[in-house]
Amino acid sequence: MNAESRNIGDAHPVIRQLDEAAINRIAAGEVVERPASAVKELVENALDAGARRISVDYADGGKTLIRVTDDGCGMAGADLPLAISRHATSKIDGSDLLNIHSFGFRGEALPSLGAVGRLSITSRAAGQEGARIAVEGGRISPVTPAALSRGTVVELRELFYATPARLKFLRSDRAEAQAIGEVVRRLAMAEPFVNFRLTDVSGGGEGRVLFRADAGSGDLFDALHGRLATVLGAEFAENALRLDVDRDGLRLTGYAALPTYSRGSSVQQYLFVNGRPVQDRMLLGALRAAYFDFLSRDRHPAAALFLTCDPQMVDVNVHPAKSEVRFRDPALARGLIVSGIRQALAGAGHRASTTVAQATLGAFRPEPAGPGVQPTPSRVYQMDRPSQGAIRAAYQWQAPIPAQDLAPGFAEAPSARVEPVAETGAESRPLGAARAQVHENYIIAQTDRGIVIVDQHAAHERLVYERLKHQMAEKGVAAQALLIPEIVEVGEAGAARLLEIAEDLQRLGLSLEPFGPGAIVVRETPAALGEVDARGLVRDILDDLEDLGQSQTVQARIEAVLSRMACHGSVRSGRQMRAEEMNALLREMEATPHSGQCNHGRPTYVELRLSDIERLFGRT
């Protein structure tokens, strides 16, 4: 490196005290990354003030205007200069940074916003007169009287006008607006008893309301379920499982979707710790681990999880934007998420998502005749339900004709096998009674409210897989001793990580022992894996531990073998099944957890309600 590239020259450097404006601009670079960051800080302040109604207005993606209005406790005029001072806050007294019950506590947001934009605060506390203060590029104006009924209005104009270089790093107005919407939706999920409204006022006028969530009613779960339906959609709410488990002072609540309601990306994964939205790799890894036995690698679960604990159990002061947390016992939080979700999935039994039936009905509907041609509405026929006599007469008319009486050209083999139903009263069961088998792979069952179409191979594959897993859990995983133990160099830190979970790996058939500094020796591997690359397996486990804090590698590989065994040992497509076999399969599906999806996360059956079927044929 030559002398010209050095950061500090040969002259003796002078240590200077930065002025307040420079300090605030530097802090703003950490706290206010984009307009969405400013919205997050201002809405969190409103929530900390006890607001029950919060309105967020923005223009041009938040670059020219952000306005947050709330009906919280407000501030007195004498407190406004202190509110925009650095490290001034009403949330904590500074004596205990691990006992934080509010969103904000650092006292950096308002002075940072005032340092890089044109900020004004209008507020009125109970029993006080309204007051207003303005800050432009760090220059504070005197407090002036203002008219306001209650609460606070914070208006931020021309964000980053004092640091124009930051404007070059912002994305398009559309992208910044989407980020603002995501922030508001996350905070709306965290506070289901608060009214939220998001409005785009670009171009002036009253603007366009983009998001609105009314305050929920009832208990916490009722309000949260309604809020999630508003934010994530009714389909998520219909296909989500309620979570409410606790362990050692840590409680997990929220909703996790069925595996058959998986997504193509992780966009519907929301985590909250003590009501605070967070992005935590360890928690996201635990969510993924809870579903790894039910989803393929290219599918992602959907969930809104809320972890609640004593503030002393979690440190939120590890990131300027407070988007990361550190648990005192991370294994407890990770284990609670995995066990809580798996318990809920097991309780769901054979249930599959309603979107499967909706997609099926959509596939049944006819397409338009050509490009640009609007489909004509189907004709509706008003028909009464026939009497029993008419039904009997129709059955006689529809009875099969003996083969010798068939006209030439009508002697083909039927495409569907129909047998008498050996089981009586089965229509009242969830999966009904088998009526037919079509294409030697799909079972048609009749329920008291519609029909069920079952993929016999996928369903039986899941049943066999669950049976094999149950046997493995009861008898353990058989291990095979290596003729020549494998020595793997992983470094001292890697060896320590692996030996911490050595007991867990032993239960899965993988035996590890220390072998000098920075090395471990592999003496046994799971017998189900056959010949295995022990060195590669250990390194994969270590990569998972470093990335996610946990590893499911060994268990995943063992269960992948069980899945292949289940595939080969299940009823194959093309096999004709008797009525009693089909009904036995339906009954076992009802009694087996997770039977609503195959080993790859695809649905094993589709349920169509009679009302939906009648609508397809124009019956009302």
Q: Can you give the CATH number for the domain in which 32 is found? A: 3.30.565.10
Q: Are 26 and 88 within one domain?
A: yes
We report the CATH number of the domain holding residue 323 as 3.30.230.10
Alpha helix segments (H runs only) across 292-329 = none
Contacts of residue 263, Cβ cutoff 8 Å, sequence gap at least 6: 299, 300, 301, 302
Name which residue leads in pLDDT, 605 or 17: 605
We report the CATH number of the domain holding residue 531 as 3.30.1540.20
Q: Are 293 and 201 within one domain?
A: no
Domain-embedded: residue 382: no
Q: Which of these, 241, 257, 347, lies nearest to 303 by C-alpha position?
A: 257
Please say if the pLDDT value at position 500 is more than 50. Answer: yes
Contacts of residue 329, Cβ cutoff 8 Å, sequence gap at least 6: 248, 313
Task: Give the pLDDT of residue 40.
Answer: 92
Of 178, 211, 244, the one marking the end of a domain is 211
Contacts of residue 124, Cβ cutoff 8 Å, sequence gap at least 6: 74, 130, 131, 146, 148, 149, 150, 151, 152
Domain-embedded: residue 28: yes
Q: Are 472 and 554 within one domain?
A: yes
> How does pLDDT run across 583-593, given as a tens digit for each residue?
999 999 998 88
Q: Are 151 and 252 within one domain?
A: no
Q: Are 203 and 243 within one domain?
A: no
Of 190, 211, 232, the one marking the end of a domain is 211
Q: Are 192 and 45 within one domain?
A: yes
Q: Are 94 and 190 within one domain?
A: yes
> How does pLDDT run across 262-293, given as a tens digit for each residue?
888 888 999 999 988 888 888 888 898 888 77
Domain-embedded: residue 389: no
> How does pLDDT run across 299-351, given as a tens digit for each residue?
889 999 999 998 888 887 666 666 778 888 888 998 899 999 989 988 887 77
Domain-embedded: residue 490: yes
Q: How many alpha carbons lie under 13 Å from residue 367 in its C-beta half-sphere?
A: 5
Task: Give the pLDDT of residue 364.
Answer: 66
Contacts of residue 419, Cβ cutoff 8 Å, sequence gap at least 6: 436, 578, 579
Please say if the pLDDT value at position 10 is more than 70. Answer: no
Which pLDDT band holds residue 400 (cuts at 50, 70, 90)? Answer: very low
> Average pLDDT in the 224-235 region?
93
> How does pLDDT run across 189-212, given as a tens digit for each residue?
999 999 999 999 998 888 899 999
Residues facing residue 447 across a β-bridge? 450
Domain-embedded: residue 192: yes
Q: Are 116 and 240 within one domain?
A: no
Please say if the pLDDT value at position 414 is more than 50. Answer: no
Of 321, 348, 375, the one marking the end of a domain is 348
> Average pLDDT in the 93-112 region?
63
Q: Are 238 and 189 within one domain?
A: no
Residue pair 416/437 in contact (Cβ under 8 Å)? The answer is yes
Q: What is the DSSP string of 112-128?
A: HHHHHSEEEEEEE-TTS
Domain-embedded: residue 98: yes
Please say if the pLDDT value at position 462 is more than 70. Answer: yes
Structural domain that includes position 119: 20-211
* CA of residue 30 relative to chain centroid, distance: 27
Q: Tokens standing for 87?
A: 């490290």
Tell me the pLDDT of the chain averaged across its residues. 80
Which helix (H) or strand (E) covers residue 453, if one does?
strand 450-455
Which pLDDT band holds residue 100 (cuts at 50, 70, 90)? Answer: low
Q: Are 226 and 184 within one domain?
A: no
Q: Which of these, 539, 547, 498, 542, lies nearest to 282 by C-alpha position?
A: 547
Task: Give the pLDDT of residue 413.
Answer: 43
> Average pLDDT in the 1-10 region?
52
> How does pLDDT run across 42-67, given as a tens digit for each residue?
999 899 889 999 999 999 999 999 99
Task: Give the pLDDT of residue 314.
Answer: 85
Residues facing residue 145 across a β-bridge? 131
| 168-172, 189-193, 506-510: range with lowest mean pLDDT | 506-510
Q: Are 232 and 180 within one domain?
A: no
Domain-embedded: residue 10: no
Please say if the pLDDT value at position 294 is more than 60. Answer: yes
Question: Measured between alpha carbons, how far apart are the two ends of the chain, in Å?
Answer: 82
Number of folded domains in the chain? 3
Domain-embedded: residue 379: no
Which pLDDT band holds residue 13 (cuts at 50, 70, 90)? Answer: confident
Q: Are 49 and 191 within one domain?
A: yes
What is the torsional sign of CA 581, 587, 591, 594? positive
**Beta strands at 118-124 and 151-157: parallel, antiparallel or unpaired:** antiparallel
